[in-house]
Amino acid sequence: MLLTVDVGNSHTVSGVFYGQNLLHQWRLKSDRDKTADELAIRYHSLFQMDGIDKEDITAFIVSSVVPTLETSWLNFAEKYLTGCITPPMAVSHKTDTGIIIRTESPAEVGADRIVNAVAAWDYFKTALIAIDFGTAITFDCVSRKGEYLGGTIHPGIGISLDALAGKTAKLPRIDLNRKPVPVIGTNTVDAISSGMLHGFGGMIDRMTSLLLKEMQQDDKDEEINIIATGGMAEMIAPYCSSIKTIDPLLTLTGLRLIHELSFTLNPDWPTPYP
């Protein structure tokens, strides 16, 4: 089985695949001070709860935007996942993913953005924009040739709410809900909810429109698909018109695809799915 780990600034999402099937998934807070031993304690408990023997984990891959945690995860895999039959992998701009990075400085592109581009390209096989609602909201553009072109980065919804509550004297920190929110808020909570949901929905549509226009400047009829992922994607989608496809598992799927490609590039490796 393959253990995939996506380390974000706020949360770490991990999953266990057998072939193309995701058998287990966990979402935990990211603690950048966690050591390999502390990760082992946490995942020993998770494995036990879901009836997984750690010896059944035969392969491991991680994408991380937190450098210290990437090191901890690789140390965890090397020390505790003794059933692994291939070297633990960490995704970076140097990883052969099948996607060519066409930005000015490929080293600056986050591993999660590369992984999302790989999964979205496999999903559509067309030019595309992948939107990830994480601590930051990222837009990643891929050409019809499967080239990563770049994108945009915006403050996320959670940190925007934190900033609003933390930098004002009377505005509260609220929990957004999924019920329809009128644009005109008649109380403070509804006014903040409207500003967040309608405001971010409008930002998504505006940025998507600008990116589409730039990507289509050579071919107005070029097919460009849009896919969203991340914890807030389903919440914001009703407040914008540009999001048609949502895949909460996009990043984990991308990790699986990259690991599968590594076997094509290393034919002497044994299969992780005996």
Q: Phi then psi for 30, rounded to 5 degrees?
A: -85, 125
Tens-digit pLDDT profile for the chain (274 aa)? 999 999 999 899 999 999 899 999 999 999 888 999 999 999 999 999 999 998 999 999 999 999 999 999 999 999 999 999 889 999 999 999 999 999 999 999 999 999 999 999 999 999 999 999 999 999 999 999 999 999 999 999 989 999 988 888 888 888 887 677 789 989 988 899 999 999 999 999 999 999 999 999 876 778 999 999 998 899 999 999 999 999 999 999 999 999 998 877 777 777 665 5
Strands 147-155 and 136-142: antiparallel
CATH architecture, domain defined by 100-243: 2-Layer Sandwich (3.30)
Residue-level pLDDT at 262: 84
Burial class (CB in 10 A: 0-12, 13-18, 19+), 129: buried
| Cβ neighbourhood burial of 220 (10 Å; 0-12, 13-18, 19+) | exposed
Taking domain 2-90+253-265, whether its CATH number is 3.30.300.30 is answered by no
Residues counted in the chain: 274
Q: Where are the alpha helices (DSSP H) in 15-156?
A: 36-49, 67-80, 111-124
13 exposed, middle or buried (CB, 10 Å; 0-12, 13-18, 19+)? buried
Amino acid occupying residue 218: D
Cβ-in-10-Å burial (0-12, 13-18, 19+) of 156 comes to buried
The whole-number pLDDT of residue 271 equals 67
pTM recorded for the entire structure: 0.91
Whether 118 has a binding-site annotation, put simply, is no
Closest CA to 120 of 109, 132, 129: 129
Greatest CA separation found in the chain? Answer: 65
CB 148 within 8 A of CB 142: yes
HSE, side-chain direction, 13 A CA sphere, residue 160: 17
Residues 1 and 196: their CA atoms lie apart, in Å, by 40
Is 181 known to sit in a ligand binding site?
Answer: no
In the chain, which segments carry CATH 3.30.420.40? 2-90+253-265, 100-243
The residues annotated as belonging to the active site are 112
Task: Report pLDDT for 178.
Answer: 63
Does 44 show up as a binding residue in the annotation? Answer: no
What integer pLDDT is reported at residue 184 of this predicted model? 94
Q: Please indicate if the annotation marks 178 as binding a ligand.
A: no
Question: Does residue 109 have a known ligand-binding role?
Answer: no
Q: Tell me: is residue 68 an annotated ligand-binding position.
A: no
